[in-house]
Structure 1
Amino acid sequence: MTDPRPVPAPETRLPVRVPLGTKPLGIWGSLQAGRRNVLGLVPEIAVRQPIVSGTTGKRWHMVMDPAALRHILRDAVDNYPKSVVTKLILEPAIGDSLFVAEGREWLWQRRTAAPVFSHRNVAALAPVMTAAAERASARLMQAPGRAANLFDEMVAATFEVIADVTFSGGEGFDRAAVHRAIEQYIGQTAKVSILDILGAPPWVPRPSRLIAGSAMRETKRMADLAIDRRRSEGAKPVPDLLDLLMAGEDRQTGRKMTTAELRDNLLTFIVAGHETTALTLSWALYLCAFDPAVQAEARAEAQQVLGDRAATAEDVARLPLTRRIVDEALRLYPPAAFLSRTAMAEDRLCGREVRRGDTVILPIYALHRHRLLWSDPDAFLPSRFADPKSVDRFAFLPFGDGPRICIGANFAIQEAVIILSTLLARFRFAPIPGRDPKPVMILTLRPEGGVWLMIDRA
Structure 2
Amino acid sequence: MTEHRPIDPALPVRVPLVTQPMGIWASLQASRRNVLSIIPDIATRQPMVSGKTGKRWHMVMDPGALRRMLLEKLDNYPKSVVTKNLLKPAIGESLFIAEGAHWRWQRRAAAPVFSQRNVMNLAPVMSGAAERSVARIAQAGPRAVDFLAEMVTTTFDVISDVTFSGDEGFDRDAVHGAIDAYIAEAGKISLFDILGFPDWVPRPGRILSAGGVAEMKKVADSAIEARARRGHDGVPDLLDLLLAGEDPETKRTMNTAELRDNLLTFIVAGHETTALTLAWSLYLLAFDQDIQSAARDEVLSVVGKGGIATGADVAKLPLVRRVIDEALRLYPPAGMISRTAQEADELCGREIRPGDTVIVPIYALHRHHLLWDAPDAFRPDRWDKTRPDRYAYLPFGDGPRICIGMSFAIQEAVIILASLLANHRFDAIPGRSPEPVMILTLRPEGGVWLEAKPL
TM-score (norm 2): 0.97
Provide the secondary structure at the position in 2 that maps to 1:456: strand
Q: Report whether the alignment pairs 1:99 with 2:96.
A: yes
2:231 maps to which of 229, 234, 255:
234
Q: Which amino acid aligns with 1:72?
A: M
2:358 aligned partner = 360
1:443 aligned partner = 440
Distance 1:383 1:126 in 2: 27
- For 1:77-129, what per-residue CA distance to the aligned partner results, in whole angstroms no more than 9, with x for missing partners? 01000000000001011100000000000000000000000000000000000
Quick check: 1:189–1:213 contact (8 Å CA) kept in 2? no
Distance 1:185 1:270 in 2: 13
Quick check: 1:130–1:418 contact (8 Å CA) kept in 2? yes
Higher alpha-carbon deviation: 20-29 or 305-314 = 20-29
Deviation at 1:56, TM superposition (A): 1.2
- For 1:140-161, what per-residue CA distance to the aligned partner results, in whole angstroms no more than 9, with x for missing partners? 1113421100111100000000
Deviation at 1:41, TM superposition (A): 1.6
1:271 aligned partner = 268
Higher alpha-carbon deviation: 106-115 or 138-147 = 138-147
Distance 2:158 2:37 in 1: 32
Q: What value does the CA root-mean-square deviation take over the aligned residues?
A: 1.3
1:224 aligned partner = 221
1:375 aligned partner = 373
2:402 aligned partner = 405
Matches within 5 A, 1:61-76: 61-76=58-73
1:316 maps to which of 311, 314, 317:
314
1:119 maps to which of 91, 116, 122:
116
Distance 1:170 1:293 in 2: 44
Deviation at 1:207, TM superposition (A): 2.7
2:43 aligned partner = 46
Deviation at 1:214, TM superposition (A): 1.2
Quick check: 2:298–2:317 contact (8 Å CA) kept in 1? yes
1:416 aligned partner = 413
Matches within 5 A, 1:161-310: 161-307=158-304, 308-310=306-308
2:3 aligned partner = none
Quick check: 1:84–1:202 contact (8 Å CA) kept in 2? no
Provide the secondary structure at the position in 2 that maps to 1:22: coil
Quick check: 1:52–1:63 contact (8 Å CA) kept in 2? yes
Q: Cα distance 1:272–1:11, how it changes in 2: closer, same or farther (>3 A)?
A: closer
Identity %: 66
Which sections of structure 1, spanning at least 5 residues, go unmatched? 1-8
Provide the secondary structure at the position in 1 that maps to 2:129: helix
Deviation at 1:189, TM superposition (A): 1.7
Q: Cα distance 1:149–1:364, how it changes in 2: closer, same or farther (>3 A)?
A: same
Q: Report whether the alignment pairs 1:145 with 2:142.
A: yes
Distance 1:426 1:90 in 2: 38
Provide the secondary structure at the position in 2 that maps to 1:299: helix
Distance 2:208 2:251 in 1: 39
2:57 aligned partner = 60
1:5 aligned partner = none
Distance 1:435 1:229 in 2: 46
Deviation at 1:188, TM superposition (A): 1.1
Higher alpha-carbon deviation: 213-222 or 319-328 = 213-222
Distance 2:205 2:452 in 1: 39
Which sections of structure 2, spanning at least 5 residues, go unmatched? 1-5
Provide the secondary structure at the position in 2 that maps to 1:390: coil
Distance 2:344 2:253 in 1: 36
Deviation at 1:203, TM superposition (A): 4.2
Provide the secondary structure at the position in 2 that maps to 1:237: coil
Higher alpha-carbon deviation: 169-178 or 70-79 = 169-178
Provide the secondary structure at the position in 2 that maps to 1:142: helix
Deviation at 1:168, TM superposition (A): 0.5
2:336 aligned partner = 338
1:6 aligned partner = none
Deviation at 1:235, TM superposition (A): 3.0
Deviation at 1:170, TM superposition (A): 2.9
Distance 1:11 1:348 in 2: 37
Q: Cα distance 1:243–1:356, how it changes in 2: closer, same or farther (>3 A)?
A: same
Q: Cα distance 1:11–1:128, how it changes in 2: closer, same or farther (>3 A)?
A: closer
Quick check: 2:7–2:16 contact (8 Å CA) kept in 1? no
Q: Report whether the alignment pairs 1:24 with 2:21.
A: yes
Quick check: 1:133–1:419 contact (8 Å CA) kept in 2? yes
Quick check: 1:130–1:311 contact (8 Å CA) kept in 2? yes
Distance 1:36 1:392 in 2: 32
Higher alpha-carbon deviation: 58-67 or 227-236 = 227-236
Distance 2:15 2:364 in 1: 10
Higher alpha-carbon deviation: 308-317 or 369-378 = 308-317
- For 1:357-391, what per-residue CA distance to the aligned partner results, in whole angstroms no more than 9, with x for missing partners? 1010010000000011000000000000013x431
Distance 1:197 1:48 in 2: 26
Q: Which amino acid aligns with 2:291?
A: V
Quick check: 1:145–1:455 contact (8 Å CA) kept in 2? yes
Distance 1:309 1:405 in 2: 33
